[in-house]
Chain A
């Protein structure tokens, strides 16, 4: 390879010039939005009717950012004339997103499929206290929860 002094510099200049004439890869964020992947951990959504107040998520959370309160309630019996059932009613389900590490352990340990990941990410707040989402707000996130994506070839279906 014939080399003259400065050929390396010219090669570098060529690289940047080539980039100058190719279009940019960035998008103008508030106007154009890139869709995050379906598994993206954006925000945790709560399906309230599935929750049994078992407290598993609150206990497994590595930084204890889930606050749950509940009480026992009497529900009408399943069969005519039977005894009234005892069910756990959810009073409070708060997730403090100022503390959350987005590890996904709560979603994984939930035995009744009450928690889901939604790829929504636009919920920044001016006040840090507003990052505490209560159960109504967590319920609203359910809208954005996608279907789990199909798996790659060779994956085994069924239980994990």
Chain B
């Protein structure tokens, strides 16, 4: 399967470093180009400052913070039930997945556990948030490479997933559906059947993307061998999610760590790719989307009956203590470290978002590539600005 061999990877990296060195030594009069904060390729307001020699990047530096909304501070002055609606807004494409680790951390502090039906529905919606997030990536990658059509297909089929999320939770983008000890509501009637047919639709979309982009010669030539991240570099920079799995690291928190959520009860597979280039990252996410549809279907088949809310006091006071819970979000590892002093709200919340760590590799990765490849790499690393700046 691998198409980029070990020596090719090393040659690529050595070449990048050598080019960068030569350009610095010769002191050619380069051009400094600001990619962003308003640029179509930065999905929002990321600013990447690159020094160019012709079309080749000599030096690159991501400048983030243009969308800083101060969420960690905001969470300190909110009560626990109010926080889920705020953390929805971190990674706004897969927003349901943001509230789950926070609720799990709060539940761990309170020592309550949601009933199994609630956990299963949480997992279903978590995976649907993953689908909603990754389908957009699958289409958007095409736009960044110049093919405008795939993103319309992505929006078309993502719409069905969002409709289902809205039917269950009431909110398309900001569900606010998790409560400490369970869920707000049960699923409405007919939801399961509709969900299954939507999963089939998403799989068709994946096939379409495979025909439209993955098998495309131009797509291949634009992504294969571009932005190679070797395994150890990926680990050194603290990448997570599909970015690290595309570099051949077999690491998925859903599988590797005990969690009250229902992933342990279904059959699924963690996809990895040995290449570590942009193509591998696209390929891994495509497979993950397919895998997520199968997880959702299996979970819906075995959905246990019962209550969806554990017994919790009406006014939620979380006992003093500290808890750290992380989950495998669509973009990578997301975690919350909650420090509670026994009040109505947390004393301090540290949010670990995947995108912030994922873009930290940009200065290393962008050295020596061409301007069009900068866009390919930015697109394939896949970050959400709300997730970087918080």
A–B in direct contact per CB < 8 Å: yes
Seen from chain A, the residues whose Cβ lies within 8 Å of a Cβ on chain B are 5-9, 11-12, 14-16, 19, 25, 36-41, 60, 62, 101-105, 108, 117, 149-156, 160
Contact A62 to B78, CB < 8 A, known contacts A151-B189, A160-B309? yes
Ordered by A's residue number, 18 sampled pairs between the chains whose C-beta atoms are within 8 Å are: A8-B215, A8-B216, A11-B211, A37-B163, A37-B188, A60-B82, A102-B171, A103-B171, A104-B170, A104-B171, A152-B189, A152-B190, A152-B192, A154-B304, A155-B186, A156-B186, A156-B306, A156-B308
The residues of A that contact B218 with a CB separation of less than 8 Å are 9
The residues of A that contact B307 with a CB separation of less than 8 Å are 156
Contact A39 to B85, CB < 8 A, known contacts A101-B174, A151-B188, A151-B189? no
CB distance from A79 to the nearest CB of B (A): 33
- Cβ-closest 7 pairs across A and B: A154-B305, A103-B85, A155-B186, A37-B167, A149-B188, A62-B82, A152-B187
CB distance from A87 to the nearest CB of B (A): 24
Seen from chain B, the residues whose Cβ lies within 8 Å of a Cβ on chain A are 78-79, 81-82, 85-86, 117, 147, 149, 153, 156, 159, 163, 166-171, 174, 176, 184-192, 208, 211-213, 215-220, 303-309
* B215 and A102 form a contact (CB under 8 A): no
Q: Which of A6, A38, A151 contacts B186 (CB 8 A)?
A: A151
Name the residue on B nearest A159 (C-beta): B309
What is the interface of chain A mostly: helix, strand, loop, or mixed? loop
Give complex CA distance A106, B370 in Å: 52
The residues of A that contact B85 with a CB separation of less than 8 Å are 62, 101, 103, 105
Contact A117 to B170, CB < 8 A, known contacts A150-B188, A152-B187, A154-B303? yes
The residues of A that contact B192 with a CB separation of less than 8 Å are 152-153
The residues of B that contact A156 with a CB separation of less than 8 Å are 186, 305-308
The residues of A that contact B176 with a CB separation of less than 8 Å are 103-105
* B188 and A152 form a contact (CB under 8 A): yes
* B215 and A103 form a contact (CB under 8 A): no
Name the residue on B nearest A107 (C-beta): B170
The residues of B that contact A104 with a CB separation of less than 8 Å are 170-171, 176, 184
The residues of A that contact B82 with a CB separation of less than 8 Å are 60, 62, 103, 105
* A9 and B216 form a contact (CB under 8 A): yes
* B208 and A15 form a contact (CB under 8 A): yes
The residues of A that contact B79 with a CB separation of less than 8 Å are 60
The residues of B that contact A40 with a CB separation of less than 8 Å are 166, 170
A62-B86, A102-B174 provided; 15 other pairs, C-beta below 8 A? A6-B217, A8-B215, A9-B216, A11-B212, A12-B211, A12-B213, A39-B166, A103-B82, A103-B176, A105-B81, A105-B82, A149-B189, A155-B186, A155-B308, A156-B305
